Amino acid sequence: MTDFKRKRVVVTGVGAITPIGNTPTEYWEGLISGRNGIGEITRFDASNHACRIAGEVKQFEPHDYMDRKEAKRMDRFSQFGVSAAKQALADAQLVIDDLNAEQVGVMIGSGVGGIKVMEDQQTVYLNRGPDRCSPFMIPMMIANMAAGLTAIHTGAKGPNSCAVTACAAGSNAIGDAFRIIQGGYAQAMISGGCEAAITPLSVAGFAAARALSFRNDDPIHACRPFDKDRDGFVMGEGSGILILEELDYALSRGARIYGEMVGYAMTCDAYHITSPVPGGLGASRAMGLALKDGGISPEQVSYINAHGTSTPANDSTETAAIKKVLGEQAYKVAVSSTKSMTGHLLGGSGGIEAVATVLAIANDHIPPTINLVNPDPECDLDYVAKTSRAQTVDVAMSNSFGFGGHNVTLVFKKYI
């Protein structure tokens, strides 16, 4: 696809269901105030687990967005995705009808999908036999169902798919939606990620892999990206959704524009199933290619919403990758990890972090990295420690890296 054929793509709506707020406004206010959404697990009895903390969504009512019968036939991850999508459509004031339905698509990623339903139905199978399993088990469990249900609930009949690339899934979905609009295959896309993997089996599995923080006695300080005392990530849940539109279409209906999406790239480390390649070579290639895709120079970058998981390997590797691609400019760019407040939403993280990145541009304000008290000597960039910062944000990047070596970078800028 040559540059002169590409459509311009803008962000016109956002939706967010997160551990620090269940609307975009609450989420943004939580980010800027440094609100911490991490605490003891209440979704199940975690008393016998090595990790007993997570970033849970609080006071979420799916019935605010759908009737009880519909909600009952959805796993929690789909409830989050559909609800955030409806928020984003309302925010964009985009009405889907017979005239535009075939030009509006959905791309919503999930790294895990309906694991709660799978666990529950496994118990039913073992205790009551195969004939007692729910006929809704499979459609509730499969990861693409958030995208499918969003289309069913909104009437969007355009391109529809689901990225399943672990913790890069939400960003991949947004990037793929961006490409669809650029290529002229849709006028608007509902895009992002969702996850609800705070379940007994999932938490046990990540703990067994030594990926999680075990700071059970101090949950609000457990997620501490770039801090030398970090000991693993804290699982979160929720959904983040962007409405992406072709510029002329957005202008034709008088849409408010938060910013413009200009770059997307994905690479693979081809190295290890969980660990990033030393030196962050794959991550730096993703960042470099995304900047090139958007025609952005390192000197133009104002802010990076880092993957910043609070794991020993990720934070130092991402720091090295940023230095590699930006050079000396790396020390002049604000970098922060909003996971310090929300925890790590796995496949949903790219969605809520893209929302944070776009809102940083729209509001000229950068969310902080909370809990950064003792910086790791290998992590020596400007991580906007502890408190948010009012600052002009012209160009911002959002990074997402997933198990399997998946690296994704999205680039946004002010709409001019």
Answer whether 367's CB lies under 8 Å from 335's CB.
no
Residue ranges with strand state E in 234-315 = 238-246, 259-268, 303-305
**What are the structure tokens assigned to 413, written together?**
């800028």
Which of the following is catalytic: 153, 307, 365, 406? Answer: 307
User: Is 167 considered catalytic here?
Assistant: yes
Residue 137, token pair as written in the block: 């088990």
Check 167, 194, 223, 379 and give the catalytic one. Answer: 167
Quick check: is 63 catalytic? no
What does the alpha-carbon distance between residue 324 and residue 287 come to, in Å, rounded to a whole number? Answer: 10
Question: How many angstroms separate the CA atoms of 13 and 256, rounded?
Answer: 8
Which amino acid type is present at position 190?
I
Task: Report the C-alpha gap between 7 and 2 in whole angstroms.
Answer: 11
Non-local CB neighbours of 204 within 8 Å, separated by 6+ positions? 49
Sheet holding 238-246, edge to edge: 160-161, 104-109, 188-195, 238-246, 9-17, 259-268, 406-413, 395-402, 303-305, 334-336
Is 344 considered catalytic here?
Answer: yes
Report the distance separating Cα 200 and Cα 43, nearest Å.
Answer: 9
Q: How many CB atoms lie within 10 A of CB 192?
A: 39
Structure-token pair, residue 345: 């939403």
DSSP 8-state assignment for residue 385? B
How far is the C-alpha of 368 from the C-alpha of 54, rounded, in Å?
A: 20
Task: Select which of 344, 365, 379, 406 is catalytic.
Answer: 344
- Torsion, CA 66, CA 72, CA 73, CA 78, rounded to 10: 60
**Residues 6 or more apart in contact with residue 137 via CB below 8 angstroms:** 117, 118, 121
Whether the CB-CB separation of 290 and 410 falls below 8 Å is answered with: yes
CA-atom Rg of the chain in angstroms: 20
How many angstroms separate the CA atoms of 229 and 277, rounded?
22
Cα–Cα distance between 354 and 352 in angstroms, integer? 5
In Å, what is the CA distance from 208 to each residue of 43, 152, 202, 205, 214? Answer: 19, 38, 10, 5, 11
Catalytic residues: 167, 307, 344
